[in-house]
Structure 1
C-alpha cells in the first residue's frame, strides 16, 4: 500500500515539475520578446531581427545595486494657485512693449471718403507668424457726416470667432502646434508668456472648442467620400477620454479609416466593441475591408455579403512569427518567406502597375510564394514536437484560420498587402497620447477626431496644414453647405491651394 502511495506521489510531483518547466519556458519566451521590443530592431519590412541591444542591462552582475538610504517623511501644505486675472481672454488682450506690433489702417467704406475723421478707435488681435507672434493693431476711423453731424465708427474687419481677440492665424497655429507637433496647451501658454503675452489656458481650450464645430462638416464630408470607395482599411487605437472616477480616466478608442484617395478619417467610440464598426459602416460601405486580426472585423464582415474581408500580412510577421524566433528556428524561415513576398510586391509597386496589369503581375509573381507558404505551414503543423503552448504553433494556427482573408490581395489589385499605410497615418494619436496624455471629456475626443482627420490628411496630400486651416476657417462661413466636400484637403488642394485666403499678419 505504501509503494502505491509513493508511486502516486511521485507521478504527481513529476506532472507538477513538467507544468512548472513549461511555464518557465513560456515566461522566458515572453521576457525575450519584451527585450526585443525595448532594445531590438522594429522594422516591419523583413522583421529578421538580430541580437538584442543592451541585453546586459538585465544581467544582475552588471546592474549596480543602490544603497539603502533612510527615508525622511515630509509633510507640506499646498499653496493656493496663482491669480490669473492678468491673463488674456476674449474680453481683452494684454501684452508688453516687447511684442512686435503691426498697425493696419482701416479705410472708410466706399462712398464716404469725403466724411470728416473726428477720432480713431483701436482694436487689438493676437496673430501668429511661422516663427513668432505679432499684434495686429487695427485703427478704424470714427466718421462724422458733414450734413447731419452723426458719428459712425467703421468696424474692424470680420474675425473668424466673433468677439475674439485671436486672429485666424493664431487659431490655426494653436491647432497645428497641438495636433501636428503634439504641444499641449499649457506649454503653448508658457511659450506665449515667455514672448511677453499673457493668455489664459482656458482661452486656448476655447480656440480648439470653437474651431472643431466649424471643421466638423468638412470631416463628415470626407468620411462620406472615404466610405464611398471600394477599398477601406480600418483599425483602432486607445485613448483616455472622460473621467471614470476620482483619479481615473475612461478607456476610449479612436477608429481610423483609410480610403483609396490618401484620405484618413478618425472616429471616436467609448468602447472597442463591434457595435462601432456596424454603426460606422452599415449601409455606407461596400467593398474590401482591410484590417488586422481583431475578431470584431471578421464577425461584422461575415454577416455582410457586400463586404470582402482582407487581412494584413505585416501582423502575422510582427505579432506572431516574430514572437517565436527564440523558440524555434523555423520561425525565421517563415519570416524569410514572407520577406520574399514583400520583395515581389515592392517590385510590382515600383513598376507603377494598376488595375488588371497589377492583378496579373501578382498572380505571376506572388501567388506561387503564397501557395508555398501555405504548404510550409501545413508541414509544420504535422510536427509532433510542438507543444500546445508553443509560440510557433500559435502563429501557424493564426495563419491557417486566415488563409482566405490573407489571399484577397491576389485577386484585388487595389488592396494593399498590409495595413502599414494606416499604421503610419494613425501615428499622431499615440504620439499625442505621450504628450497631452488624455482627453478630458468624450466631447474633447470628438474634437480631436475632427481636427486630426483634416490635419493628417493634409500631410498625406503633401499640403501645409497651417495654410489650409487659415483659408478654410475663413471660407467655411461663406461657402455653400451643399458643396462642403470642396473644402476637404483632397479637393481644396486642386481648387483653392493656388490662391488661398490669408491672414492680415502675412504680406
Structure 2
C-alpha cells in the first residue's frame, strides 16, 4: 500500500500563496513499517420481537466463524499459522507480542487455536496429496526430526526419539510433508498406496529401490548429487581420482545449464541429452569400472565405496537421459526441506509427535 503525503512549503500556504504557480511535482519514496496490531471485533446483534405480540424475542444470528464458539477471528488463525510455520516465530514469542499489545490471553489458548486451525486444513492437504500422487514424475525423500519422549524411566529418561518427515514433490511443484515414527519401507508403501505410477526419484536409500522393484508401472531414478557426495568424501584419501570423477559429473551439469539457457523441452530436451549427456555418462561408468579393474584399492577405502555406489545404481542414474521430465537429482526437493532444519528450534521441546 502507498500512502501519499503532500509536503507544502510555507510559500504555498502563507498569505502570498496565490502569487505562486505549481509547475510540477518531485516524488521521493521511503519504506515505512507499522507495528503489528490486534483489533477486537465487537459485533452488536439486535434482539427483537414483533410489536403487540407475545412472541419470543429473536436474536440476530452471529456472523459465520470458522471455529464454533471461539474468540478467534479467521484473520487471527491465519496470522498464527503463517507466523509460526512460514516465518518460524514460536507461539511463546507471538504470545509476548500479544501481551505487549495489552491483550490478556493464555499460551494454552494459542496452542489450542493452532491445533483446531490445522484440523481445518486437513482437507486441503489431502487434496494436495491426491494431486501429487497423480504426477508422472514424483520425488521423495526423508529427513529426521526429534519428536516425543523415549521414556520416563531407565537410561533413555528425558531423551527425545526420532521421527521422520517424508516429503513428496510433484509435477505441479507442490510439496506435501508426510510423517512417520520410523524410516522403514512400510511408510513408502502406505503413502504411495498403489496410487502412484511413473518415475520415482530418490536418493540412494535402499528402501526406495526395493519398493520400486516390487511394483509394476514404477521406474526408479536416482540422484546424481548424492552420488557426487561419495566422491567428495573420497577426495582426502584419493584427491586425483576423486577430483577426476567430480569433473566428469560437473560436465553433466554444464549440459543441464545449456538446456536451461536454450529453454529446451520435450523431445528436443531428450535428444540433446542423448547427444551430449549420454556419452559423458557412458564414459563415466566405464571409467569407474576401469578404476576397480586396475586393483590396488581396498574394499574399505572411500573411493572403492564411491565407485561401487554409483556402479550399483547405474540403471537408475541413467533414467533421466531418456525422460525429459526427470531431473538428474533431487535438489528441487532438498530445497523444499529447508523449513525443517529452520523450524527445529521451534519444535525443540515438543514432547508429543502431534506437537
Q: TM-score range by the shorter chain?
A: 0.7 to 0.9
Residue in structure 2 matched with residue 281 of structure 1 by the alignment = 192
Helix, strand or coil for the counterpart of 1:136?
A: coil
Of 51, 66, 84 in structure 2, the residue corresponding to residue 146 of structure 1 is: 51
1:160 pairs with 2:70: no
Q: Distance in 2 between matches of 1:366 and 1:428?
A: 33
Of 297, 306, 311 in structure 2, the residue corresponding to residue 400 of structure 1 is: 311
Task: Write the deviation string for residues 166-191 of structure 1: whole angstroms up to 9, x where unpaired.
Answer: 11011001111111111211121122
1:204 pairs with 2:114: no
Provide the aligned length of Structure 1 versus Structure 2.
Answer: 315
Q: Distance in 2 between matches of 1:357 and 1:384?
A: 41
Of 307, 322, 337 in structure 1, the residue corresponding to residue 232 of structure 2 is: 322
Q: TM-score, normalised by structure 1?
A: 0.60
Contact 1:183 1:436 in 2 (8 A): no
Shift of 1:358: 1.4
Residue in structure 2 matched with residue 190 of structure 1 by the alignment = 96
Contact 1:359 1:412 in 2 (8 A): yes
Residue in structure 1 matched with residue 142 of structure 2 by the alignment = 236
Of 318, 323, 334 in structure 2, the residue corresponding to residue 423 of structure 1 is: 334
Aligned counterparts, 1:171-320, within 5 A? 171-246=77-152, 247-318=158-229, 320=230
Of the two structures, which has the highest relative contact order with CA contacts closer than 8 Å and spacing of 6 or more?
1
Q: Distance in 2 between matches of 1:421 and 1:199?
A: 41
Shift of 1:142: 3.2
Q: Distance in 2 between matches of 1:313 and 1:265?
A: 23
Helix, strand or coil for the counterpart of 1:157?
A: coil
Q: Distance in 1 between matches of 2:213 and 2:62?
A: 59
**Cα RMSD, aligned residues only:** 1.8
Contact 1:239 1:439 in 2 (8 A): no
Residue in structure 2 matched with residue 378 of structure 1 by the alignment = 289
1:131 pairs with 2:36: yes
Helix, strand or coil for the counterpart of 1:140?
A: coil
1:365 pairs with 2:276: yes
**Structure 1 residues 349 and 130: alpha-carbon distance in aligned structure 2, compared to 1, 3 A threshold:** farther
Aligned counterparts, 1:329-368, within 5 A? 329-368=240-279
Shift of 1:443: 3.1
Residue in structure 2 matched with residue 33 of structure 1 by the alignment = none
Q: Distance in 1 between matches of 2:99 and 2:129?
A: 38
The answer for unaligned runs of 5 or more in structure 2 is: 1-33, 153-157
Shift of 1:144: 4.7
Q: Distance in 2 between matches of 1:290 and 1:413?
A: 13
**Structure 1 residues 220 and 187: alpha-carbon distance in aligned structure 2, compared to 1, 3 A threshold:** same
Helix, strand or coil for the counterpart of 2:345?
A: helix
Helix, strand or coil for the counterpart of 1:197?
A: coil
Q: Distance in 2 between matches of 1:273 and 1:181?
A: 31
Q: Distance in 2 between matches of 1:227 and 1:239?
A: 24
Shift of 1:274: 0.5
Residue in structure 2 matched with residue 115 of structure 1 by the alignment = none
Q: TM-score, normalised by structure 2?
A: 0.84
Shift of 1:165: 0.8
Helix, strand or coil for the counterpart of 1:308?
A: strand
**Structure 1 residues 438 and 345: alpha-carbon distance in aligned structure 2, compared to 1, 3 A threshold:** farther
Q: Distance in 1 between matches of 2:252 and 2:123?
A: 42
Task: Write the deviation string for residues 205-261 of structure 1: whole angstroms up to 9, x where unpaired.
Answer: 111211122211221111111111211100011122232213122211111010011
Q: Distance in 2 between matches of 1:257 and 1:337?
A: 30
Q: Distance in 1 between matches of 2:301 and 2:293?
A: 14
Q: Distance in 1 between matches of 2:109 and 2:290?
A: 64
Q: Distance in 1 between matches of 2:111 and 2:351?
A: 11
